[in-house]
Structure 1
Amino acid sequence: MSSHHFVKDQQEPAVFILDTAELSFETVSPLLEWVPTVLVGQECLENVLSWGIKVDLILATETFQKDNLHLLEEQYPVKFLTASPENTLDEGLQYLLATKHPATHLVGLSHLKHVDLGEKLELFDLTIMDAGWKYYPVKSGKFKKWFAESTIRILGKEGMPVEISNENGKLMLPLVYLTQLEVPEGITEIAASGVIWIGEEVK
C-alpha cells in the first residue's frame, strides 16, 4: 500500500499550490511530510506533477478537464474541480471549507493578495509562501516570538501603527506597503491595532 493511500483526516494543513514560478520542490517538500491534501491550479500542474507530488484535486477549466481526462487514471484518486484562472483561489478555499480543513498553506500566492483573505482568516489558519518567504497572520494584534538574527517583514493595512519591542528597544512606525525590519537574536514583540502578517525567509 503506497503512502498516499493513508486516510486523510484533515488534521494536517492542506497544501494549495497556485503558482510555481519562483518555487522549487525543496521549498514545498517539508509541507508534504505528513501526506496532506494537495490542491493544484491548472497553470502550474505540469510542474507540480514533474516533482512527483501526489495531487488530490486539480482546479481547472472545463476545456482543460476534457483535454486531460487521462490524469484521472494516472493520478487516481485525483478529482477535478471546475474553476477559471481568475477564481481558482476562491474555489479552492470554498472546497477546503466544505471538506472541513482547518488550515491551509497557500503556495505561490503573491503576498500582495493578503488583503483579499480578510474574511477567510476567521474560518481558516492560513499561511502564504511566496518567492522564498513564508507569511503567517497575527489575528489578535499581539505577537511574540524568538527569532535568530534575521530580517522579517510585516504586512498590514497601509498606515496602521505598529509597535515593535526587542533588545534594540521600542519602535513605533506606520506600516508601508511592505515593512522590512532587522531583528536581533532573541524575543521580538509586535503589537498592532488590526490583522498583520509576519514574513520570514524560508531557508
Structure 2
Amino acid sequence: QIINTSNLSTFQPSNFPTFQSLMSSHHFVKEQQEPALLILNTAGISFDQVAPLLEWVPTLLVAQEAVPVVLSWGIKIDLILAEMEFQKSNYHLLEEQYPVKFLGVQGDKFLDEGLQYLIASKHGAVNIIGLDHLKVFDLEPMLEFLDIVVWDGPIRYFPIQNGQFKKWFPETSIQLHAPEGTILEIQNPEGNEIVQVKYATFIEVEEGTTIIKGKGNFWIGEFV
C-alpha cells in the first residue's frame, strides 16, 4: 500500500464534488501529463524562479513550512503536506483555498509522503523545490517510478541513469554530482578529460555539445 487516503482532509460542502470524483475527472488526468511541482522550502527561492514551472498548471504540493510564502505568490495549492497540529490550526484553508486538501505527515517525512502520493496518483514526473542537493542520492530508488528534477537555489539537478549524458551548452559552468571518487569522462569541442568527482565539482564547458560518461548513476547541476 503506497498511500493511505484516510490521511487526506478536504472541505466538501454538498454542492461540491467529492475527492473521489476529482480523482477521476478529466481535469485531474490532464494535470498528470505535466510534471508535478513539490515545494518543500522557499528559502533562497523567488517567484520568478518558480513561475516558468507553473505555466502548464501542474499539480502543486506544498509542505506546511512553505505554505505562507506560496500563498503570498497568489498560487492555488492542490495539496498541503501537513502535520496534525498544522492541520488543526489551519483548517480554514480547506475552505478558503478550496479544493485544496491536507495530506497527513508524521516525523518530518514531507518529501517521502509527497513522492508516494505522486506515484499513487499516476504522475510520471516532478520538479522538487527546496531540497538540499546533497540528498539527491536518496531519491534514486524513486527514479523507477518518477522523472525527478531538483531545484536547489540557482541550480537544477537532474539524474543520468544510463551512464551517458549529451547536451549542447553555451559557454558555462556545470556541476558534476556523484558519490565521492566517481570517475567521469568529459568530451567536448576542446577535447577529452577525466574528472574524479569531489564535493561541489564544477567544470567549465565551452560552447557546443558536451558528452559525459561514467559508471552508475550521476547527477548534473545546471545554472538557471
TM-score, normalised via structure 2 length:
0.86
Offset at residue 86 of structure 1 (A): 2.1
Distance 1:104 1:130 in 2: 14
Q: Provide Cα deviations, 1:1-55, integer angstroms capped at 9, x if missing partner.
A: xxxx981320000000001001000000000000100000001110010001110
Larger radius of gyration, structure 1 or 2? 2
Q: In the alignment, what sits opposite 1:7? A: 27
Distance 2:109 2:42 in 1: 17
Q: In the alignment, what sits opposite 2:206? A: 184
Q: In the alignment, what sits opposite 2:156? A: 134
TM-score, normalised via structure 1 length:
0.95
Question: Which of 64, 71, 75 in structure 2 is aligned with 1:53?
Answer: 75
Query: Partner amino acid for 1:153?
Result: Q
Distance 2:107 2:49 in 1: 23
Offset at residue 128 of structure 1 (A): 0.3
Q: In the alignment, what sits opposite 1:157? A: 179
Q: Provide Cα deviations, 1:99-137, integer angstroms capped at 9, x if missing partner.
A: 010000011111011111110111110000011111111
Query: Partner amino acid for 1:170?
Result: N
Distance 1:57 1:177 in 2: 35
Mapped contact 1:8–1:35 kept (Cα < 8 A) = no
Distance 2:49 2:106 in 1: 26
Q: Provide Cα deviations, 1:64-121, integer angstroms capped at 9, x if missing partner.
A: 1011111001111000001146210001000000001000001111101111111011
CA RMSD of aligned residues (A): 1.3
Q: In the alignment, what sits opposite 2:108? A: 86
Q: In the alignment, what sits opposite 2:91? A: 69
Counting aligned pairs with the same residue, the percent is: 53
Query: Deviation above 6 Å: which 4+ runs of structure 1?
Result: none
Question: Which of 185, 188, 204 in structure 2 is aligned with 1:166?
Answer: 188
Q: In the alignment, what sits opposite 2:197? A: 175
Task: Tell which deviates more after alignment, 82-91 or 109-118.
Answer: 82-91
Task: Tell which deviates more after alignment, 168-177 or 122-131.
Answer: 168-177
Unaligned 5+ runs, structure 2: 1-24
Q: In the alignment, what sits opposite 2:222? A: 200
Unaligned 5+ runs, structure 1: none
How is 1:85-124 mapped onto 2 (pairs within 5 angstroms)? 86-124=108-146
Query: Partner amino acid for 1:151?
Result: S
SS class of match (2:57): coil
